[in-house]
Amino acid sequence: MVPTSTRDLTDSRALERRVRLADFNCEASEANGCQARVVVQWASDQIFVGESKGDGSSRGSLRCAAEATARALMQASEGKVDLEVLAVKAVEGFDTVIVVVSLASQVGDVAERLVGSCLIAGQPPRGAVLAVLSATNRLFGHMVHGEPN
């Protein structure tokens, strides 16, 4: 397919860079805690898996899902990126609920704080996964093309 506009070209390049959610499972209960498994796909359809266990509360399941995502992304980076989930919160605003995540990232000598968000549509822990991907996609997009941050 030949791009018909600059937007088409930009969109196809953006899709090549984007880390995509391939699969997600989160089981949480107050009694048994939370177990999250995140599968991401990136750069030539490579698959990376992150898992996490944590508190089974609604707040704990958000963090558990975010941490599993961060682990999958660190695996995808082949040791080039270190991520730490600093905070995860569901907030009400604009007549909806939004999950916001704050991450600390370390790439070589460069430390940055990243923030991502996602509107919750259905399962709140899935919103936390997508918020982490939102926070990190630019970072991973630059890595795949060898561009500076």
Domain boundaries along the sequence of the chain: 6-144
Could you tell me the pTM of the whole model?
A: 0.85
Question: What share of the chain in percent tops pLDDT 70?
Answer: 84
Classified as helix, coil or strand, 141 is helix
User: What value, to the nearest 5°, has the Cα angle with vertex 112 and ends 108 and 115?
Assistant: 135
The pLDDT value recorded for residue 123 is 85
Domain at 6-144: CATH architecture? 2-Layer Sandwich (3.30)
Of 60, 58, 41, 67, the C-alpha closest to 97 is 58
Mean pLDDT (the chain, rounded)? 86
The pLDDT value recorded for residue 45 is 78
- The 10s digit of each residue's pLDDT in 104-121 is 999 999 999 999 999 987
